[in-house]
Amino acid sequence: MKFSEDVYIKAEAELKKRQENAEKLAEMRRKQILNKHPELLEIENIIRNAALEVIKGIGSGKSVNVNALAETNLKAQKQKAELLTKNGYPEDYLEPQYSCKMCNDSGIYNGKLCNCHLEILKKISMNEYSCSSILAVSTFETFDLKYYSAEKDKSLGYSPREYMEASLDFLKSYAETFRPGKSSFFFTGATGLGKTHLSLAVMNRVTENGYSVFYGSADNIIKQMEKERFGRSNGDIEEEIENADLLIIDDLGTEFKTAFSETAVYQIINNAILNGKSMIISSNLSISELEERYGQRVVSRLNSFEVINFIGTDIRQIKK
């Protein structure tokens, strides 16, 4: 299987991040142990000095008693293991716990690409492919107003098509003149009315102009956050969101309802608002349904958002 250079670069970065994280965590555990058992430092010094003596000896050309040094080293290693197990820690507690035990997250095993590396490459290229293909076709130009009825809605005083046409123009100019901190939007309406299409159209235009966009469905974002919180993934989605100029949360309300997801939704939205971040949130729920689900504290955060009501008949029904 062949991958693009971009995919290889991203996979390298992912491996490096895994490795660094494993090492960072090991160092944190070491500090924790040192705090409680300072004698560890002494043992570490013995190990380090033994290794240094060997290197010095080789460098100077003088003979060194390698066997004696090896013995010292071994003894100290044993002491270290004992110190840990005696205090209820696993023997390898201070070793970095790499995601892949074969290659220690280097990506290379026995001179070949490790399986974990291959998995990462596949995952990245699949994501890129599925994202880019949907993204590529979802532009302002491909948004078709003919799926919106031209018949005037008596209670509104205008037709869905007129309303969508105005919304489309409005969003287009928003995207074209986007600057970080620009206003935020709440897209509401039934499934299949183009909320995702227009979110992606904004994303396309905004990224073309050099700004960064984080796009994700509420479900995916929360699942990823949960994995990271509980140590099942090494990514940092919260940092990615924080670094984006525009945050797009698609399909809010379709995520699985748990205590974690409820809090996470509030945290994401609240942090973004506190950081002055521009957002587009789309949902099948209306504002009042949103309030029922997430409570007043989430909904009150959306007060400053411009609301676009996607009205009309499910596009997928008409297209059939």
Q: Which residues bind Zn ion (CB under 5 A)?
A: 100, 102-103, 114, 116
User: Which residue, 46 or 113, is less far from Zn ion as judged by CB?
Assistant: 113
* Residue number with CB closer to Zn ion (56 or 112): 112
Query: Taking the complex as a whole, how short is the minimal distance between the CB of residue 235 and Zn ion, in angstroms?
Result: 17
Phi, psi of 236 (to 5 degrees): -140, 80
Query: Which is nearer to Zn ion, 33 or 116 (by Cβ)?
Result: 116
Residue 250 β-bridge partners: 217
Residues 6+ apart with CB under 8 A from 107: 11, 12, 15, 113, 114, 116, 117, 120
Residue 116 or 203 having the CB closest to Zn ion: 116
Judged by DSSP in three states, 293 sits in helix
Min CB(22)–Zn ion separation in Å: 12
Distance of closest approach, residue 108 Cβ to Zn ion, in angstroms: 8
In the bound complex, what is the minimum distance in angstroms from residue 120's beta carbon to Zn ion?
9
The pair phi, psi for residue 275, each rounded to 5°, is -85, 5
Residue 187: strand pairing partners? 282, 308
Q: How far is the CB of 98 from Zn ion (least distance, A)?
A: 8
Kindly tell me which of 14 and 245 has the beta carbon lying closer to Zn ion.
Answer: 14
- Entry field: residues in the chain: 320
Instruction: Look at strands 108-109 and 112-113 and give their pairing.
Output: antiparallel
Beta bridge partners of 158: 153
Contact 260, 215 (CB under 8 A): no
